[in-house]
Amino acid sequence: MSSLDVARIRKDFPILNERVNGRPLVFLDSAASSQKPVQVLAAMEHIYRATYANVHRGVYWNSEQSTELYDDARCKIAQFIGAPSPENVIFVRNATEGLNLVAYSYGRHFLKAGDEVLLTEFEHHANFVPWHVLAKERGVKLKFIPMTQQGTLDLSKLDELLTPQVKLVTFAQVSNVLGTITDPRSIIDRAHAIGAKVIVDGCQSTPHMPINVQAMDCDFYAFSGHKMLGPTGIGILYGKRELLEAMPPFMTGGDMIGSVSFEDVTWADVPVKFEAGTPAFVEAIGLGAAVDYLSAIGMEAVRTHEKETVAYAIERMSEVPGATIIGPTDPEIRGGALTFTIKDIHPHDLGTLLDREGVAIRAGHHCAQPLHIRLGLKATARASFYIYTEQREIDALIEAIYKAKHTLRK
Amino acid sequence: MEDLYRDNLLDHYENPRHHGGLENATISHEESNPLCGDRIRVDIKLSSDGTQIEDVSFSGDGCIISQASASMLMEEVAGKPITDIQKLERQDVLDMVGVQLTAARVKCAMLGLKVLKTGLYQYMVDHHHS
Ligand SMILES: Cc1ncc(COP(=O)(O)O)c(C=O)c1O
């Protein structure tokens, strides 16, 4: 039983028919990067085969065709996340670049020594290291919203943390390790009340649930295309218009200028001001096709399917002797990723043994070392799900874990 | 394939040789693999003329590959002249482990050798002989 026609969907993902180590691939690492449907591959291939030319630069048909498709993709993506206009949508390489753009452009322009940035303990390194660097460079202080035992954010002390020095608040809407879903409004409204700006890391939420940045009222929102059926090399930074207007460019060069003389340079309008050089426009168009695919399924249905899948995975994992689930076990507040440990088996050994069975999971610290320090764990294992994940694959995971336990005599 | 975690490897993991540390070590060195948190410390007792590994012991925690390969390495180097250790290469450790490892797991297997060699080299630099 599923809210999605998973069998139909799987037909669009040729890689799911591949075999690994002689067994059918059971791909449970979509939180790291998702697989791509033929519709996305075809959209990109068509450009390379039939219409390719650079954007913005030519007055001939091919170049104008590229520009039109590129602009279309921006519109689709703006609509997908509920942005007021395509001008709020900046194409970047990935969420990491989007977050760095905010840290470098907004952070270095508007923050000064003594100001504070409020983060959470479960941030991905992508939303951690840029702030660390800013803090070192500018004498900005970092503070952290703590977690509860269940792995949700402990917002009881939020008002105490939101001192007048806090200028920026940033958090992942869905934790890539704990799976915890945080209601963004529960933080954003209180942060805005003290005049702080809020960045939401939407890497693990945009692919998996309906998003509306205007309803959320965040100031910036970053995510990666490759985790939501799109190609690598393309991501999005959304920003409120007035902020984007006030910010200096992050990188400079071609395309992003208004005019250049020997004495002076003016910047292009938002969003192009932030897009120096030839953009990954084929990838942007590929992401547009991914957004079409997801919109046709419906993001409510995607979320429901993942809720069902994670609920089933939690149920099955709970039966395994020695298994510990990391993070919330309530599917209502857990995204489509299940992080766990198996007593006396190092996650890397588990990952290797599961690979022998064709089961692909992630093992390690998932780019969240501070969180693992907080949890007192060196590494964890993570199985993550998407629109093409079947219950049968969870069964294969559980069976492979039993087999690994047997092999290692645990 | 089937023998990745074969009995020899598991045996070294469950009953590590030269394990637990040395009281009177000449050299102690520890490193970890930040990617997975594997950690190994090697204690070495050199002979009085400083040319021979009289005794060696490791301690640490981590995956089976890292700990078992360290145990195998300890067995290999105990009682050997330092010049032999300097010659030890990545392939020697892979041969000891004796199973096919993917690139990510080769790093786990190499941690023991890295700690052993770095410890020795640092000692040699500190004591001005090379
Ligand atoms: C929560 C979160 N933030 C940021 C990132 C970074 O994404 P990328 O590597 O695509 O820039 C990831 C990806 O793993 C993530 O899960």
Sign of CA dihedral A389, A391, A392, A393: positive
Tell me which residue has tokens 């999971």: A361
The pLDDT mean for chain A works out to 95
Interface test with chain A among B38, B39, B64, by most A beta carbons within 10 Å: B64
User: What share of chain A in percent tops pLDDT 70?
Assistant: 100
- Spell out which chain B residues touch chain A, with contact meaning CB-CB distance below 8 angstroms: 1, 4-5, 10, 34-38, 61-65, 102, 104-105, 108
Nearest Cα residue to A328 out of A209, A174, A201: A174
Helix (H, G, I), strand (E, B) or coil at A46: helix
As given in the structure block, the two tokens for residue A28 are 């449970």
Give the N- to C-terminal CA distance of chain A in Å, as an integer.
33
Q: Which residues of B touch A379 (CB under 8 A)?
A: 36-37
As given in the structure block, the two tokens for residue A345 are 């088996």
Q: Which residues of B touch A342 (CB under 8 A)?
A: none
- Spell out which chain A residues touch chain B, with contact meaning CB-CB distance below 8 angstroms: 21, 346-349, 352-353, 355-356, 363-365, 369, 372, 378-379, 407-409
- Is-contact A2 A248, C-beta < 8 A? no
Q: Please state the separation of Cα A161 from the chain's center in Å.
A: 26
Interface test with chain B among A20, A341, A348, by most B beta carbons within 10 Å: A348
pLDDT digits (tens, 9 = 90+) for A84-115: 999 999 999 999 999 999 999 999 999 999 99
- Is-contact A240 A88, C-beta < 8 A? yes
**CA gap B1, A396 in Å, rounded:** 19
CB atoms near residue A258 (< 10 Å): 11
The minimum CA-CA distance between B35 and chain A, rounded to whole Å, is 7
pLDDT of residue A403: 95
**CA gap A207, B83 in Å, rounded:** 56
Beta-ladder partners of A172: A201
Q: Is A23 exposed, middle or buried (0-12, 13-18, 19+ CB in 10 A)?
A: middle
User: What share of chain A in percent tops pLDDT 90?
Assistant: 85
For residue A408, give the nearest of B10, B36, B38 by CB distance. B10
Cβ contacts below 8 Å, chain A against chain B, sum to 46
Look at residue A48 and tell me whether its pLDDT is greater than 80.
Answer: yes
pLDDT of residue A266: 85
Beta pairing class for A19-20 and A23-24:
antiparallel
pLDDT of residue B3: 63
Q: Which residues line ligand 1 (CB under 6 A)?
A: A 94-96, 124, 126-127, 172, 176, 201, 203-204, 224, 367
pLDDT digits (tens, 9 = 90+) for A228-264: 999 999 999 999 999 999 999 998 888 788 888 888 8
Distances, alpha carbon A61 to alpha carbons A53, A122, A254, in Å? 9, 48, 21
**CA gap A395, A44 in Å, rounded:** 35
Q: Which residues of A touch B103 (CB under 8 A)?
A: none
- Give the ipTM: 0.80
Look at residue A5 and tell me whether its pLDDT is greater than 50.
Answer: yes
| Residue ID of nearest Cα to ligand 1 atom 15 | A203
Q: What share of chain A is helix, strand, coil (3-state, %, to 5)?
A: 45, 20, 35
- Is-contact A308 A6, C-beta < 8 A? no
Tell me which residue has tokens 């905010």: A102
Can you give the pLDDT of all 130 residues of chain B as single tens digits?
446 677 888 899 999 999 999 999 999 999 998 777 789 999 999 999 989 999 999 999 999 999 999 999 999 999 999 999 999 999 999 999 988 888 888 999 999 999 999 999 999 888 865 4
The minimum CA-CA distance between B37 and chain A, rounded to whole Å, is 5
Beta pairing class for A265-267 and A323-326:
unpaired
**CA gap A349, A369 in Å, rounded:** 19
pLDDT of residue B70: 96
**CA gap B17, B11 in Å, rounded:** 10
pLDDT digits (tens, 9 = 90+) for A356-407: 899 999 998 888 888 888 888 888 999 999 999 999 999 999 999 999 999 9
Nearest ligand 1 atom to alpha carbon A367? 14
Which own/partner contact pairs does A18-26 have at CB distance under 8 Å and 24+ positions apart?
Answer: A19/A358, A20/A355, A20/A358, A20/A360, A21/A355, A21/A356, A21/A357, A21/A358, A21/B1, A22/A358, A23/A357, A23/A358, A24/A358, A25/A358, A25/A360, A26/A357, A26/A358, A26/A359, A26/A360, A26/A393, A26/A396, A26/A397
Q: Which residues of B touch A381 (CB under 8 A)?
A: none
Q: Average pLDDT of A4-32?
A: 95
pLDDT digits (tens, 9 = 90+) for A278-306: 999 999 999 999 999 999 999 999 999 99
Domain residue ranges of chain B, discontinuous segments joined by +: 2-125
- Is-contact A230 A202, C-beta < 8 A? no
Look at residue A124 and tell me whether its pLDDT is greater than 70.
Answer: yes
Q: Average pLDDT of A198-226?
A: 98
Q: Average pLDDT of A209-228?
A: 98
Q: Average pLDDT of A332-361?
A: 95
**CA gap A140, A138 in Å, rounded:** 5
Beta-ladder partners of A20: A23
What CATH number does domain B2-125 carry, 3.40.50.300, 1.10.287.180, 3.90.1010.10, 3.40.190.150? 3.90.1010.10
Ordered by where they begin, the domains of chain A are: 6-30+299-407 (3.90.1150.10), 41-296 (3.40.640.10)
Residues of A with catalytic roles: 367
Nearest ligand 1 atom to alpha carbon A226? 10
